[in-house]
């Protein structure tokens, strides 16, 4: 019999707050982190979700001044990651059987600016080692960097390595920040929207880039005193190899990911209570998702995208959105898909339009990304 795997704690650092409670309150109040920002000197301001750098420094100094660790020469992203993980490592013991998993798409890519040589800190392995060493992890860090599915895949990897008996528990940390590199990349695809993003809406015209850090604790041995438990019932990641940046028009990879995850979870379409979808607000991604959900007969299930609140946080998005999904279940409240007004995909979906009460037991979290990658996990509110 396979081990049962549980998420028993989590935290996040976003433009809406530096812990889960402040984020949840902001979401209930309909607040969004998306606003106009001027990041590149020779370009006009554009809509993005960005954390105030002064607040990052204030919170970091409040938490870590007086620590025995060297806090000099930390990057902005590293401070975000440390702030996100700190409350969790204070509660749980790090042992020789504890895994440390970092999910990120670009890591410290900002270090490349104005550099003639490649800085050591830009390597994702070095970033993972630095964070792991700060908290005293004893095992070799694991890095998940698979475009925008990284956060969801990190949950999947943690589940599988614990079930395989390689580890007893795991800390997952996910993070990406706004940078000229990332913004220029999405600009080259003409994918950045000219207004706050509108996932699945008829008038959507592109994404808003965001930034965040998020952390979860996963274990096969939860204590009796945990405030909550979410069982990771099933997972899957499938690459349809459709295109370097364009999603499959038939949703093959996402469909297969969802089907595999639900089969492992032994959960039917009728049992899924809520879908936390990827929903980037680009023309082809949202259409592809709608097709995949309909192929799985999930069109009736309440669904949202959190991109209207947080923007697209790249490697952090899947983990952050999973955390918000679990908060929804704990509070028996569905959060709307912000900015959605009129259906803009060819297949029917049950888009959440306002805060509403709901009993949420089974959650489906999905993600899709460049290169044809897709991932899905099924969580159970225990």
Confidence band (pLDDT; 50, 70, 90) for 43? confident
Residue that is last in its domain, among 196, 219, 242: 219
**CA–CA distances in Å: residue 334 to residues 246, 283, 338, 378:** 30, 25, 12, 17
Model pLDDT for residues 319-378, shown as the tens digit of each residue: 999 999 999 999 999 999 999 999 999 999 999 999 999 999 999 999 999 888 999 999
Whose structure tokens read 């959060």? 335
* Rounded distance between C-alpha atoms, residue 269 and residue 258, angstroms: 10
How, if at all, do strands 350-351 and 356-357 pair?
A: unpaired
Confidence band (pLDDT; 50, 70, 90) for 218? very high
Give the model's pLDDT for residue 114: 77
Domain holding 57, by residue range, is 6-219
As for how many domains the chain has, the answer is 2
Residue that is last in its domain, among 219, 252, 287: 219
Give the residue-averaged pLDDT of 140-159. 97
Higher-confidence residue of 191 and 23: namely 23
Give the residue-averaged pLDDT of 118-125. 90
User: Does residue 251 sit in the same domain as residue 302?
Assistant: yes
Give the model's pLDDT for residue 135: 96
| 226 domain residue, yes or no | no
| 227 domain residue, yes or no | no
Angle formed at CA 114 by CA 110 and CA 120, multiple of 5 degrees: 55
Residue that is last in its domain, among 158, 184, 219: 219
User: Does residue 204 sit in the same domain as residue 277?
Assistant: no
* 3-class state of residue 76 by DSSP: helix
Structure tokens that stand for 328 in this block: 């929804």
Whose structure tokens read 């900015």? 339
User: Does residue 150 sit in the same domain as residue 237?
Assistant: no
| 225 domain residue, yes or no | no
Structure tokens that stand for 92 in this block: 């749980």
| 13 domain residue, yes or no | yes
User: Does residue 108 sit in the same domain as residue 254?
Assistant: no
How confident is the prediction for the chain on average, in pLDDT?
Answer: 94
| 303 domain residue, yes or no | yes
- Own/partner long-range contacts of 179-184 (Cβ < 8 Å, ≥24 apart): 179/106, 179/109, 179/110, 180/39, 180/40, 180/110, 180/113, 181/106, 181/109, 181/110, 181/112, 181/113, 182/105, 182/106, 182/109, 182/209, 182/314, 183/39, 183/40, 183/46, 183/48, 183/209, 184/40
User: Does residue 211 sit in the same domain as residue 312?
Assistant: no
DSSP secondary structure string, 65-134? TT-SS--TT--HHHHHHHHHHHHHHTTS---TTEEEEEE-SSTTGGGGTT-SS--GGGSHHHHHHHHHHH
Is residue 192 pLDDT above 90, yes or no? no
Supply φ then ψ for residue 36, to 5 degrees. -75, 130
Structure tokens that stand for 196 in this block: 């706050």
**How many helices and strands in the chain, by DSSP H and E?**
10, 16
| 64 domain residue, yes or no | yes
Question: 138 burial class (0-12, 13-18, 19+ CB within 10 angstroms)?
Answer: exposed
Which domain CATH number covers 185? Answer: 3.40.47.10
User: Does residue 44 sit in the same domain as residue 90?
Assistant: yes
Which residues are 276's β-sheet partners? 304, 365
Pick the closest to residue 340 from 351, 325, 356 (CA basis). Answer: 351
User: Does residue 108 sit in the same domain as residue 181?
Assistant: yes
Outline where DSSP puts E strands in 33-74: 34-37, 46-49
User: Does residue 191 sit in the same domain as residue 81?
Assistant: yes
| 228 domain residue, yes or no | no
For the chain, the straight-line distance linking the first and the last C-alpha, in angstroms and rounded, comes to 19
Structure tokens that stand for 211 in this block: 């930034």
| 1 domain residue, yes or no | no
State CA 345 to chain mean position distance.
23
* Rounded distance between C-alpha atoms, residue 90 and residue 16, angstroms: 23
User: Does residue 87 sit in the same domain as residue 200?
Assistant: yes
User: Does residue 196 sit in the same domain as residue 63?
Assistant: yes
Confidence band (pLDDT; 50, 70, 90) for 221? very high
* Rounded distance between C-alpha atoms, residue 101 and residue 190, angstroms: 32
User: Does residue 102 sit in the same domain as residue 206?
Assistant: yes
User: Does residue 120 sit in the same domain as residue 246?
Assistant: no
């Amino acid at each position: 019999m396979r081990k049962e795997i549980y998420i028993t704690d989590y935290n996040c650092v976003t433009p809406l707050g530096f812990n889960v409670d402040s984020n949840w309150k902001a979401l209930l109040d309909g607040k969004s982190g998306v606003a106009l920002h001027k990041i590149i000197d020779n370009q006009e301001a554009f809509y993005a979700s960005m954390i105030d750098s002064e607040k990052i420094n204030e919170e970091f100094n409040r938490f870590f001044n007086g620590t025995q660790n060297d806090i000099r020469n930390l990057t902005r992203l590293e401070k975000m990651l440390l702030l996100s993980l700190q409350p969790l490592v204070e509660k749980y013991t790090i042992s020789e059987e504890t895994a440390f998993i970092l999910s990120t798409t670009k890591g410290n890519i900002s270090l490349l600016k104005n550099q003639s040589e490649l800085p050591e800190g830009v390597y994702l392995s070095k970033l993972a080692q630095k964070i792991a060493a700060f908290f005293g992890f004893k095992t070799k860090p694991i890095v998940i960097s698979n475009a925008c599915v990284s956060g969801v895949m990190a949950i999947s990897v943690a589940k599988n390595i614990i079930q395989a008996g390689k580890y007893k528990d795991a800390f997952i940390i996910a993070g990406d920040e706004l940078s000229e590199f990332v913004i220029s990349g999405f600009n080259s695809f003409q994918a950045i929207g000219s207004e706050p993003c509108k996932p699945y809406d008829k008038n959507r015209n592109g994404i808003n880039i965001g930034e965040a850090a998020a952390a979860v604790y996963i274990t096969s041995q939860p204590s009796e005193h945990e405030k909550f438990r979410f069982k990771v019932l099933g997972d899957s990641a499938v690459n349809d190899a459709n295109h370097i940046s364009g999603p499959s028009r038939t949703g093959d990879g996402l469909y297969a990911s969802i089907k595999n995850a639900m089969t492992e979870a032994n959960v039917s379409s009728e049992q899924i209570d809520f879908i936390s979808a990827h929903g980037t607000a680009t023309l082809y991604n949202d259409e592809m998702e709608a097709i995949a959900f309909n192929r799985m007969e999930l069109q009736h299930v309440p669904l949202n995208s959190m991109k209207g609140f947080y923007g697209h946080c790249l490697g952090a998005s899947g983990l952050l959105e999973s955390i918000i999904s679990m908060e929804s279940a704990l509070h028996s409240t569905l959060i709307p898909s912000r900015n959605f007004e009129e259906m803009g995909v060819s297949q029917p979906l049950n888009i959440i339009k306002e805060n509403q009460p709901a009993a949420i037991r089974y959650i489906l979290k999905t993600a899709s990304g460049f290169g044809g990658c897709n991932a899905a996990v099924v969580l159970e509110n225990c």
